[in-house]
């Protein structure tokens, strides 16, 4: 028996959750969801049916990516690794959360408009991209002085944010390739080239009641 993770391969929230689970070696039963046709088992949970969501072995429900990540951090065996991702210092944690919140609230807002500019005809795509670039500029400046957002070690802030920058880069790869964000690109590449990322991006068939359960051991 393993905890159940409802996930969607390309979802940046699901990627951040899977990345932490894989990094910490926490096995789950991965149920790949098609967003337009969610499985009844997910809908039956009631309330929000977004992904990722995790149900642990005590039937406790973790309905948000950050809930899942904190659950994973709380049960991971390698406490040294946990400390390096999410240090004990409250000051440090608050700073990380500030970066993550900025990403989730402001950057995501402009990213969606940049990605789906045709659905937001009030402004053109360049306007939305420039709004989103405010965050890219902040990140690039910060990453010019350190490898990761909080120093030489990868932290929760990096893992929580990189899937959204990846999504931004994929809206117009030609534009992104020629854009002047050398430090941000170097940082993003560390993640995209990582073994963990390749493992969490493996494609699995969509799950539904009666279908075989896929346990992901995230073997690295």
Residues in the site for ligand GSH, rule: CB under 6 A?
8, 11, 13, 35, 49-52, 64-66
Smallest gap from residue 184 Cβ to ligand GSH (A): 22
Smallest gap from residue 146 Cβ to ligand GSH (A): 26
Smallest gap from residue 93 Cβ to ligand GSH (A): 18
Comparing CB distances to ligand GSH, the nearer of 73 and 143 is: 73
Helix axes 12-23, 65-75, angle to 10 degrees: 0
Comparing CB distances to ligand GSH, the nearer of 77 and 203 is: 203
Smallest gap from residue 206 Cβ to ligand GSH (A): 14
* Edge-to-edge strand list for the sheet holding 53-55: 61-62, 53-55, 4-7, 28-32, 214-216
Q: CA 115 to CA 142: how far, in whole Å?
A: 25
Comparing CB distances to ligand GSH, the nearer of 5 and 11 is: 11
Comparing CB distances to ligand GSH, the nearer of 8 and 181 is: 8
Q: Where are the alpha helices (DSSP H) in the chain?
A: 12-23, 40-43, 65-75, 79-85, 90-102, 108-115, 125-143, 156-171, 173-178, 182-192, 195-200
């Amino acid at each position: 028996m393993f905890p159940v993770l409802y996930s969607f391969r390309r979802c940046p929230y699901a990627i951040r959750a899977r990345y932490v689970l894989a990094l910490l070696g926490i096995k789950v039963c991965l149920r790949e969801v098609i967003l337009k046709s969610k499985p009844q088992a997910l809908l039956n949970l009631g309330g929000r049916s977004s992904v990722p969501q995790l149900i642990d072995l005590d039937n406790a429900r973790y309905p948000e990516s950050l809930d899942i990540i904190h659950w994973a951090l709380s049960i991971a065996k390698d406490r040294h690794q946990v400390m390096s991702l999410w240090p004990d210092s409250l000051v440090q944690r608050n700073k990380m959360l500030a970066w993550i919140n900025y990403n989730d609230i402001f950057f995501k807002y402009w990213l969606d408009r940049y990605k789906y500019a045709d659905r937001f005809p009030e402004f053109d795509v360049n306007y939305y991209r420039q709004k989103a670039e405010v965050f890219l500029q902040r990140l690039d400046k910060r990453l010019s002085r350190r490898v990761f957002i909080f120093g030489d070690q990868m932290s929760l802030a990096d893992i929580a944010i990189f899937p959204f920058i990846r999504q931004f880069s994929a809206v117009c790869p030609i534009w992104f390739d020629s854009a002047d964000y050398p430090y941000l690109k170097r940082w993003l590449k560390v993640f995209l080239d990582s073994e963990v990322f390749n493992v969490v991006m493996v494609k699995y068939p969509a799950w539904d009641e009666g279908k075989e359960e896929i346990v992901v051991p995230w073997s690295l």
